[in-house]
Structure 1
Amino acid sequence: MGGKNKQRTKGNVRPSSSGRAAEVLTREGGVIPGFVGFDTTVNSELSYVPAVHGAEEIDNLVDADFRLVLRKLSKRDGVTRLKAVQDFGSMCQERDAEEVKGVLPYWPRIYCKISVDHDRRIREATQQAFEQLVQKVRRSLAPFLKSLMGHWILSQCDTYTPAASAACQAFQAAFSPTKQPEALSFCKDEILNVLQDILLKETADTLSDPQSVTEEEREAKYVRMLTSSLLGVKRLLSLLLQNDRTALEPRLAHLVNSGKFWKYGKHKTPQVRGAFFEMLCALCEYTPGLVQAEAARLCPAVLLSVDDTDPVVLPPVWEAVLHVVSTISDCWTHVNAKKGFLPKLWALLKDGGKGMAKALHPNLMPLLSKLPPEVTDPMLDFYTTFFTSFIQGLSSERAATSPSESAIIVTSVVECLRYCILHHTEEGEDQKKLRTMLISQQALANTSLQNGPLFLLVTEMLVSWEKRAGLHNEGEANEDKDVFQVLLADFWEGLGVMFVRYVDNKDADPQALEGVATLLQVSLFFENSGNSPCWQKGYKVCQDVFLEEEGGVEKPVQTVSELVNEKALGSPQTEHFEDVVCQLAQLCLVHVNEEKSERHLVFLSLLLRSFHTTRVFSTLVELDETTAKNREQRDELRNPAMQFLLEQVVVWLAEEGRTDTEHLVEMVFSALYCCSRQETTRILNHITTMDLQWGIILQVIQRVCVILFRKTSIKMFYLLSKAATIS
Structure 2
Amino acid sequence: MGRSKGEAARAKSRPSSSSVAASLLPSATVAVGFGGYVGSSRVDSALTSTSDASAFLDLDSEIAQHLKRLSRKDPITKVKALQLLSQLIKEKTAKDVVAVVPLWIFEYKKLLVDYNREVRRSTHDTMTNIVSIVRRDLAVYLKPLMGPWWFSQFDSVNEVSQAARRSFQAAFPAQEKRVEALMMYSSEIFAYIEENLKLTPQSLSDKSAALDELEEVHKQVIASSLMAFAALVDLLASHSESLTNVNAESKISFRVRTVALPNAKELFSNHKYFLDYLKSKSAAIRSAAYSLIKSCIENIPHAVCEGDLKLLSGVILGSFQERNPACHSTMWDTLLFFGKRFPDSWAAINTQKTVFSRLYSFLRNGCFGSQQVSYPALVILLETIPPTAITWNTFFLEFFQSLWDGRKLAYSSLVDLLSLLQAVEECYIWGLRNDSRHVWILFCDGEDEVQRFKHFFVNEILFGLLWSDYMLASSSSCADMTKPIDKEPRDSMNFRHSIDYASNLGKCIVKILSGIYSVDHDLLLVFSSRFQENCLDIFQIPENCSHNVNWAVKFIQLLEEHAQGETWVLTYILGPALEKLFPLAASLVSHLEKSYALLCVSFFFF
Note whether the superposition's TM-score is higher than 0.5.
yes
Give the alignment of 1:311-322 within 5 angstroms.
311-322=325-336
| Aligned residues of 2:125 and 2:167 also touching (Cα < 8 A) | yes
Aligned-residue offset at 1:94: 4.2
Give the alignment of 1:16-35 within 5 angstroms.
none
Give the alignment of 1:322-471 within 5 angstroms.
322-377=336-391, 379-394=392-407, 396=408, 398-424=409-435, 428-446=447-465, 447-448=468-469, 451=501, 453-466=504-517
Aligned-residue offset at 1:133: 2.0
- The structure 1 residue matched to 2:176, chosen from 151, 175, 178, is 178
The range that moved more, 367-376 or 257-266, is 257-266
Give 3-state SS (helix, strand or coil) of 1:123's partner: helix
Residues 230 and 572 of structure 1: CA distance in aligned 2, closer, same or farther (over 3 Å): same
Distance, in Å, in 2 between the alignment partners of 1:355 and 1:372 is: 28
Unpaired stretches in structure 2, ≥5 consecutive residues? 1-44, 241-252, 474-500
Aligned-residue offset at 1:224: 1.1
- The structure 1 residue matched to 2:262, chosen from 229, 250, 259, is 250
Q: Which amino acid aligns with 1:350?
A: R
Distance, in Å, in 1 between the alignment partners of 2:422 and 2:275 is: 35
Distance, in Å, in 2 between the alignment partners of 1:507 and 1:259 is: 67
Residues 457 and 495 of structure 1: CA distance in aligned 2, closer, same or farther (over 3 Å): same
Structure 1 equivalent of residue 553 of structure 2: 517
Give 3-state SS (helix, strand or coil) of 1:46's partner: coil
Give 3-state SS (helix, strand or coil) of 1:444's partner: helix
Aligned-residue offset at 1:193: 0.9
Residues 67 and 414 of structure 1: CA distance in aligned 2, closer, same or farther (over 3 Å): same
| Aligned residues of 2:363 and 2:402 also touching (Cα < 8 A) | yes
Aligned-residue offset at 1:423: 0.7
| Aligned residues of 1:82 and 1:125 also touching (Cα < 8 A) | yes
Aligned-residue offset at 1:502: 6.2
| Aligned residues of 2:535 and 2:581 also touching (Cα < 8 A) | no
Give the alignment of 1:233-632 within 5 angstroms.
233-242=229-238, 243=240, 246-247=257-258, 248-256=260-268, 257-258=270-271, 261-291=274-304, 294-377=308-391, 379-394=392-407, 396=408, 398-424=409-435, 428-446=447-465, 447-448=468-469, 451=501, 453-466=504-517, 484-501=520-537, 505-506=541-542, 513-528=549-564, 574-579=570-575, 582=578, 586=582, 589=585, 593-595=589-591, 600=594, 604-605=596-597, 608-609=600-601, 611-612=603-604
Distance, in Å, in 2 between the alignment partners of 1:109 and 1:305 is: 40
Residues 490 and 572 of structure 1: CA distance in aligned 2, closer, same or farther (over 3 Å): closer
Distance, in Å, in 2 between the alignment partners of 1:117 and 1:165 is: 16
Residues 264 and 509 of structure 1: CA distance in aligned 2, closer, same or farther (over 3 Å): farther
Aligned-residue offset at 1:157: 0.8
Aligned-residue offset at 1:252: 2.5
Aligned-residue offset at 1:231: 0.9
Distance, in Å, in 1 between the alignment partners of 2:366 and 2:112 is: 42
Distance, in Å, in 2 between the alignment partners of 1:455 and 1:222 is: 51
Residues 520 and 137 of structure 1: CA distance in aligned 2, closer, same or farther (over 3 Å): farther
- The structure 1 residue matched to 2:83, chosen from 86, 91, 97, is 86
The range that moved more, 358-367 or 175-184, is 175-184
Q: Which amino acid aligns with 2:265?
A: A
Structure 1 equivalent of residue 480 of structure 2: none
Residues 573 and 442 of structure 1: CA distance in aligned 2, closer, same or farther (over 3 Å): closer
| Aligned residues of 1:89 and 1:129 also touching (Cα < 8 A) | yes
Residues 127 and 510 of structure 1: CA distance in aligned 2, closer, same or farther (over 3 Å): farther
Structure 1 equivalent of residue 153 of structure 2: 156
Unpaired stretches in structure 1, ≥5 consecutive residues? 1-42, 469-483, 531-570, 615-727
Distance, in Å, in 1 between the alignment partners of 2:92 and 2:565 is: 67
Aligned-residue offset at 1:246: 4.9
Give 3-state SS (helix, strand or coil) of 1:582's partner: helix
Q: Which amino acid aligns with 1:428?
A: E
Distance, in Å, in 2 between the alignment partners of 1:582 and 1:575 is: 11
- Over residues 550-575 of structure 1, what are the superposed CA-to-partner deviations in whole Å (9 max), with x where a residue is unaligned? xxxxxxxxxxxxxxxxxxxxx87641
- Over residues 323-360 of structure 1, what are the superposed CA-to-partner deviations in whole Å (9 max), with x where a residue is unaligned? 11011121123321122211111122222223322222
| Aligned residues of 2:56 and 2:64 also touching (Cα < 8 A) | no
Distance, in Å, in 2 between the alignment partners of 1:141 and 1:195 is: 22
Aligned-residue offset at 1:415: 0.8
Distance, in Å, in 1 between the alignment partners of 2:196 and 2:130 is: 27
- 1:66 maps onto 2:49 in alignment: no
Structure 2 equivalent of residue 197 of structure 1: 195
Residues 510 and 255 of structure 1: CA distance in aligned 2, closer, same or farther (over 3 Å): farther
Give 3-state SS (helix, strand or coil) of 1:612's partner: helix
Distance, in Å, in 2 between the alignment partners of 1:184 and 1:279 is: 18
Give 3-state SS (helix, strand or coil) of 2:209's partner: coil
- Over residues 350-396 of structure 1, what are the superposed CA-to-partner deviations in whole Å (9 max), with x where a residue is unaligned? 2222332222221111111111233212x2222122222222222x3
Distance, in Å, in 2 between the alignment partners of 1:114 and 1:505 is: 78
Give 3-state SS (helix, strand or coil) of 2:556's partner: helix
Distance, in Å, in 1 between the alignment partners of 2:283 and 2:226 is: 13
| Aligned residues of 1:135 and 1:174 also touching (Cα < 8 A) | yes
| Aligned residues of 1:253 and 1:290 also touching (Cα < 8 A) | yes
Structure 2 equivalent of residue 481 of structure 1: none
Distance, in Å, in 1 between the alignment partners of 2:81 and 2:548 is: 68
- The structure 1 residue matched to 2:120, chosen from 99, 120, 123, is 123
Distance, in Å, in 2 between the alignment partners of 1:269 and 1:81 is: 28
Aligned-residue offset at 1:495: 3.6
| Aligned residues of 1:150 and 1:191 also touching (Cα < 8 A) | yes
What is the TM-score when the length of structure 1 is the normalising length? 0.64
Q: Which amino acid aligns with 2:50?
A: Y
CA RMSD in angstroms, aligned pairs only? 3.0
Aligned-residue offset at 1:226: 0.8
Distance, in Å, in 1 between the alignment partners of 2:164 and 2:547 is: 55
Residues 498 and 421 of structure 1: CA distance in aligned 2, closer, same or farther (over 3 Å): farther
Q: Which amino acid aligns with 1:253?
A: K
Distance, in Å, in 2 between the alignment partners of 1:89 and 1:368 is: 55
Q: Which amino acid aligns with 2:264?
A: L
Distance, in Å, in 1 between the alignment partners of 2:524 and 2:230 is: 48
| Aligned residues of 1:414 and 1:457 also touching (Cα < 8 A) | yes
Give 3-state SS (helix, strand or coil) of 2:326's partner: coil
Q: Greater RCO between the two (CA within 8 Å, min separation 6)?
A: 2
The range that moved more, 173-182 or 505-514, is 505-514
What is the TM-score when the length of structure 2 is the normalising length? 0.76
Aligned-residue offset at 1:236: 1.3
Give 3-state SS (helix, strand or coil) of 2:325's partner: coil
Give 3-state SS (helix, strand or coil) of 2:194's partner: helix
Q: Which amino acid aligns with 1:128?
A: D
Aligned-residue offset at 1:458: 3.8
Residues 588 and 103 of structure 1: CA distance in aligned 2, closer, same or farther (over 3 Å): farther
Residues 55 and 92 of structure 1: CA distance in aligned 2, closer, same or farther (over 3 Å): closer
Residues 575 and 108 of structure 1: CA distance in aligned 2, closer, same or farther (over 3 Å): same
Structure 1 equivalent of residue 490 of structure 2: none
Residues 283 and 508 of structure 1: CA distance in aligned 2, closer, same or farther (over 3 Å): farther
- Over residues 646-665 of structure 1, what are the superposed CA-to-partner deviations in whole Å (9 max), with x where a residue is unaligned? xxxxxxxxxxxxxxxxxxxx
Distance, in Å, in 2 between the alignment partners of 1:590 and 1:136 is: 91
Aligned-residue offset at 1:591: 9.4
Distance, in Å, in 2 between the alignment partners of 1:529 and 1:141 is: 69
| Aligned residues of 1:309 and 1:356 also touching (Cα < 8 A) | no
Aligned-residue offset at 1:82: 1.0
Q: How many pairs are equivalent?
A: 503
Give 3-state SS (helix, strand or coil) of 1:74's partner: coil
Aligned-residue offset at 1:465: 4.9
- Over residues 262-283 of structure 1, what are the superposed CA-to-partner deviations in whole Å (9 max), with x where a residue is unaligned? 3211112222112111211222
Distance, in Å, in 1 between the alignment partners of 2:547 and 2:330 is: 40
Aligned-residue offset at 1:442: 0.7
